[in-house]
Amino acid sequence: VARGMGKPCVCGCEALNIDYKAKKMTVGDLEIKEGDVITIDGSTGQVIFGDVPLVSPEMTEELRLLLEWADEIRKLGVRANADTPADALRAGEFGAEGIGLCRTEHMFMAQDRLPIVQAMIMAKSQEERQEALDKLLPMQQGDFYGILKAMDGLPVIIRLLDPPLHEFLPNVGELSLEIQRLQLTDGDPAEISKKQAMLEKARSLQEMNPMLGHRGCRLAITTPEVYAMQVRAIVQAVAQLKKEGYNPHAEIMIPLVMSPEELEILRQLCLDVIQQVEEETGLKFEIPIGTMIELPRACLLADEIAEHADFFSFGTNDLTQTTFGFSRDDAEGKFIPQYIEKKILKDNPFAVLDRSGVGKLVKYAVEQGRKANPEIDLGICGEHGGDPSSVEFCHLVGLDYVSCSPFRVPIARLAAAQAAVKNKDQSK
């Protein structure tokens, strides 16, 4: 997420103690106060006290020429992960040939719509939930309109809502403290009652392991109206752009599928909404519907899932977690460095695709998916899409494209060309 914003990020700093109340943090004997300057190197994982000289990256003419040569050689397409029109435009400047992953959950977090999302979650009836979704619809349509317009004529894969619903509600601990504060200071009874209801809902939605819980397509199976709203917003944005003379290429991606039955049900939901908008507008839409492949079971059932999909996009971040049984947030900070040092692992599998494990699953899914559906489009949208070794693997197994952060697009373009040259005798 940080890389997509063009910001450095270091995770898993266990030695760092942050005192939010005192607005300071300590590392050993070093105390850093609010306003002190630190420098973050997201590539090496270093956090440096003080101001370090920086160089702004820029696309020189020499680099542009080199990338043009690379584009003539490479077989793999290169797309970008982007969630806003600004991200999409930046991706285009770096040479992306479309958007391989547009995440919709970040749109739900905007301050003007988070209360509406919370009202939808808190709804006690179908009517209340639909009322909130009707308010969200034009906002989502505006989001998709902007991104599709920015990438006019190029494919934009929009992933429907993925995270569990509790992520859109306040933290249970913080909400409990807020209620206590209001009660002790004779706060407004109506506000206290409202927050208590939200706390009760947040507690009911809490899960022991949210990453493997009620999220992704599982949400749509139990609450289909959320996906129905998002699909309508996508199709209406496409209709609006078509009427304005643009050439939008939206694609709908359903996350966390583990079975063909899930995808079959949700594909039909999408098709029903598309048909409704066709009847309302008098327009015809060709909108591919596909899925993320990010669970080992999905890889093993790729042939059956491919019968209901126009494309697969391998979500290698979650596929790596579920294949290794690693929690990325814990593993990278606690034991992966020691595993690399002791040569248990050659590389960090979240940075460089693990060919011997995760790679075998991807290769099997590619082979089985193409066997069942020769026309299926195959890509990768995890951050591995910007790593040279991983890009080479994608070339070798015959993917159609890789997708990565906008800032990694030039790297992916070069890596794809290097893979084509290095493996020039291999037929794609």
Q: How far is CA 203 from CA 163, 169, 195, 199, 340, in A?
A: 16, 10, 12, 6, 39
Q: Which residues pair with 313 in a beta bridge?
A: 292, 379
> How far apart (Å, rounded) are the C-alpha atoms in residues 183 and 189?
8
What's 168's DSSP letter? G
Assigned CATH topology for domain 60-107+124-162+222-422: TIM Barrel (3.20.20)
β pairing state of 24-27 and 30-33: antiparallel
DSSP letter at 161 equals P
Question: Could you tell me the residue ranges of all domains in the chain?
Answer: 1-56, 60-107+124-162+222-422
Residue type, 336: I
**pLDDT tens-place values along the chain, 428 residues long:** 777 677 888 887 778 888 888 899 998 888 999 999 999 888 788 888 888 888 877 778 898 999 999 999 999 999 999 999 989 999 999 999 999 999 998 888 888 888 898 888 888 888 988 999 999 999 999 999 999 999 999 999 999 999 888 888 777 788 788 888 888 888 888 888 888 887 888 788 777 888 888 899 999 999 999 999 999 999 999 999 999 999 999 999 999 999 999 999 999 999 999 999 999 999 999 999 999 999 999 999 999 999 999 999 999 999 999 999 998 888 887 899 999 999 999 999 999 999 999 999 999 999 999 999 999 999 999 889 889 999 999 999 999 999 999 989 999 999 999 999 998 866 44
Count of CA atoms in the C-beta half-sphere (13 A) of 65:
3
**Helix, strand, or coil here: 54?**
coil
